[in-house]
Amino acid sequence: MGALHEGHLSLVRQAAAENSDVFVSIYVNPTQFGINEDLDSYPKTWDADMEMLADVDNKLASTAGSGRISAVFAPTTKTMYPTLPPSSEIPGKGSFVLITPLGNVLEGASRPVFFRGVATVCMKLFNIVKPDRVYFGQKDVQQTVVIRRMVEDFHLDTEVKIGATRREPDGLALSSRNVYLGSRRRRVSTVLSQALKAAELQFVNGKRSRGDILWPANDVALSKALQQDELPAAMRARFEVDYISLADPDTLEEVDEVDETKGAILSGAIKMQPLEELQEGEDCGLGGDSMPVRLIDNIILKPSA
């Protein structure tokens, strides 16, 4: 969807290391945005994206044995939705791929058209480009599970590869939406990765039950929320936890106990609230920190070998 960052670029590099020709698709897909979501305000940064890709491609050119970026595929909406205008409604008119119930839980619970739109547009992209391999970032973990399922159920002749989540030094997962975070919200936003890290530590230390794994994550989130509540409005950045989940890696159903042979997906979503009161000269994000920003993150709890 453009607004490229190092996470996207790392996928391009991974693809170039494993393939001769890399196609980069840049398309802000309207059907995955709900009617009240941020399609219009989604950052569109075409020139900066092209510069970043040209820079990556130049470095690939001097890397022995590496593939290159062969094309940037940036279709029009008339190409992607040739017969009916793209609908964000439910049920909505059009041709759609539905992956249920995978697409209805977690992110899909609060964004009911999201995975319908993602699966639909990816099916089209795959059919147009016919890639040997497709690369998705681990950060959107539910998307990776939905795409894997679509590839299996529809016998799509491609291999799904997942690139690790890229993070800021303090742990915040890279996201195109991070540009909306001014420094105050940015500081508090690390609560999500810290909460997931606390839960992961429990798993690493041998804990397997839901309660044992998740309590420290909920504790980190609650402590940070209370800390913000106690600060004056001009200093705090409030947030709400949408969910902290411990789910089966194939079905995304919540689990009470992690199955050693399957592992689990630890994931979470928070909504950073708009700042209530700005300080004089404060370093604000794009949009002046006046809009809520939803952030997601996850950690894979790996099965034992």
- Residue ranges in contact with a copy of itself by CB under 8 A: 81-83, 91-101, 123-124, 127-128, 130, 149-150, 152-157
Q: Which of 4, 7, 8, 293 is catalytic?
A: 8
Instruction: For a copy of itself, give the closer residue by CB, 100 or 209.
Output: 100
Give me 53's structure tokens. 């890709």
Write the CA distances from 232 to 171, 225, 237, integer angstroms. Answer: 26, 13, 10
Give CA–CA dist 12/278, Å, rounded. Answer: 38
Instruction: For a copy of itself, give the closer residue by CB, 91 or 206.
Output: 91
Closest CB 89 distance from a copy of itself, rounded Å: 11
Closest CB 78 distance from a copy of itself, rounded Å: 12
Give CA–CA dist 229/276, Å, rounded. Answer: 12
Closest CB 95 distance from a copy of itself, rounded Å: 4
Nearest CA to 77 out of 64, 63, 88, 68 is that of 88
Instruction: For a copy of itself, give the closer residue by CB, 130 or 302.
Output: 130
Residue 51: CB atoms within 10 Å: 12
> Which positions ≥6 away from 78 have C-beta within 8 Å?
none
Instruction: For a copy of itself, give the closer residue by CB, 96 or 215.
Output: 96
CB 159 within 8 A of CB 131: no
Give CA–CA dist 194/208, Å, rounded. Answer: 19
Closest CB 186 distance from a copy of itself, rounded Å: 38
Residue with tokens 């909505």, as numbered in its chain? 92
Instruction: For a copy of itself, give the closer residue by CB, 125 or 293.
Output: 125
Bridge partner list, 136: 162
Closest CB 127 distance from a copy of itself, rounded Å: 4
Identify whether 5 is a catalytic site residue. Answer: no
Q: Is the dihedral of CA 271, 276, 281, 287 positive or negative?
A: positive
CB 93 within 8 A of CB 120: no
Q: Is the dihedral of CA 54, 58, 59, 60 positive or negative?
A: positive
Q: Catalytic amino acids? A: 8
